[in-house]
Amino acid sequence: MTSVRPSVGVALCTYNGARYLQAQLDSILAQSEPVDEVVIGDDGSSDQTMALLQVFSSRAGAMGIRVEVVQHARNLGYILNFADALQRCRSDILFLCDQDDVWYVDRVATYLQRFQADPGLLLLHSDARLVDGDGVALGGHLLEVLGVHPAEVALERSGLVIDAVLLRNFITGATCALRRGLLESALPIAPCWSHDEWLAVVASLDGGLDMIARPTIDYRQHGNNQIGAGRRGLMRHLRQLDLFERQRRQRTADRLLALDALLRRRDVLIAPVRFHGLAALAWRMAWSRLQLYRRADVSLRWIAQDAPRLLARLANVCLAGAGWRGVHAAAAGARRGWTESHTA
């Protein structure tokens, strides 16, 4: 007995993207496994974006694809725009889509195969090839440039993505597809979290997150990217640690508090019971990272790049309200992580 093919929707968000939009629209229509609907949220474009979307609607409609274009009266920002587009989709499997990338022709077919093979899979993402504004390959892949270690990917696949995203996010929305049912438990997106991060965290807590290790899109890098990838120098890397600017520190604190609230609602225990709230997050960060640092396949060079991020995040937790309890919890977690790994 053959299974019924799930319907496929695309949530595409646009804002003054006319320069690169056509290539993305063409790649959606060129899929070897066609999509069933495309919902487009435009955030008040003033260029030729809407004209391109009108032509696309006619082309897609002629192919039997339902298209809904929503032009918002005010600029929502990319997070709320994506949340709105996702909720308007009617399909079973929903692909997030940026306006300036290009999908590989087998992207939908590859993802559908994985979703049909694993009923528990809620969110699937992939690597991406980096290209410049003209679509010329830059000679690297997204996860490589972000410095993602295979051990971090292993954490994700083991259902412990929480240990990865506590420090940083390497799950990029442009590479994501999800089951529609995930929206019921993941929306609304928590304040100060991006939609892709939050969806991934919720999917992970339900044991439904996985990754395709090869690129499935060309991820365009240019000056107008909302969130891009680029090789960072030392000073730029340090500025990203959210310790030097009050607003950035507050944003990180709000993120941590929202995550703590989610874990409490879900009754998820991430630390010994004597540590609570933000202190539990500090314990978990230190414990999981020290275990990772002790792995034979993790180099000293990678640790040297990652350790400042760990220290910064622990400082964020303490400044967000954990205080000296956070320091104590982090020290205890580091000791436990070191000894557990050392004796393993």
- In SS3 terms, the chain reads as CCCCCCCEEEEEEECCCHHHHHHHHHHHHCCCCCCCEEEEEECCCCCCHHHHHHHHHHHHHHCCCEEEEEECCCCCCHHHHHHHHHHHCCCCEEEEECCCCEECCCHHHHHHHHHHHCCCCCEEEEEEEEECCCCCEEEEEHHHHCCCCHHHHHHHHCCCHHHHHCCCCCCCHHHCEEECCHHHHHCCCCCCCCHHHHHHHHHHHCCCEEEEEEEEEEEECCCCCCCCCCCCCHHHHHHCCCCCCHHHHHHHHHHHHHHHHHHHHCCCCCCCCCCCHHHHHHHHHHHHHHHHHCCCCCCHHHHHHHHHHHHHHHHHHHHHHHHHHHHHHHHHHHHHHHHHHHHC
Q: How far apart are the first and last CA of the chain?
A: 45
Task: Give the residue carrying structure tokens 């609304």.
Answer: 188
Give the pLDDT score at 229.
Answer: 52
pLDDT of residue 274: 95
Chain segment 109-127, per-residue pLDDT in tens:
999 999 999 999 999 999 9
Which residues contact residue 111 at a Cβ distance below 8 angstroms, ignoring those fewer than 6 apart? 93, 95, 124, 177, 212, 216
Which residues does 89 contact at the CB level (< 8 Å), separation at least 6? 9, 10, 11, 37, 39, 180
- Beta-bridged to residue 102, according to DSSP, are 218
Using omega within 30 degrees of 0 as the cis cutoff, is the peptide bond preceding 6 cis?
no
Would you state the pLDDT for residue 235? 43
Q: What is the pLDDT of residue 237?
A: 46
User: Does the reported pTM lie above 0.95?
Assistant: no
Spatial distance between the Cα atoms of 285 and 197, rounded to a whole number of angstroms: 17
Upper half-sphere CA count for residue 222 (Cβ side, 13 Å) = 16
Query: With contact defined as beta carbons under 8 Å apart, do 85 and 11 qualify?
Result: yes
- Between CA 10 and CA 270 the distance in angstroms is 34
Residue 289 CB-density burial (10 A; 0-12 exposed, 13-18 middle, 19+ buried): buried
pLDDT, tens digit, 9 for 90 and up, residues 47-75: 999 999 999 999 999 999 999 999 998 89
Q: Which contacts (CB < 8 Å, 24+ apart) does range 109-113 have?
A: 109/31, 109/32, 109/33, 110/212, 110/216, 111/177, 111/212, 111/216, 112/5, 112/6, 112/8, 112/33
Instruction: State the amino acid at position 262 in one-letter form.
Output: L
Q: Cβ of 255: how many Cβ atoms within 10 Å?
A: 22
**Residue ranges in the chain modelled with pLDDT below 70:** 1-2, 158-162, 165, 224-245, 341-344
Among residues 108, 191, 190, 162, the alpha carbon closest in space to that of 285 is found at: 162
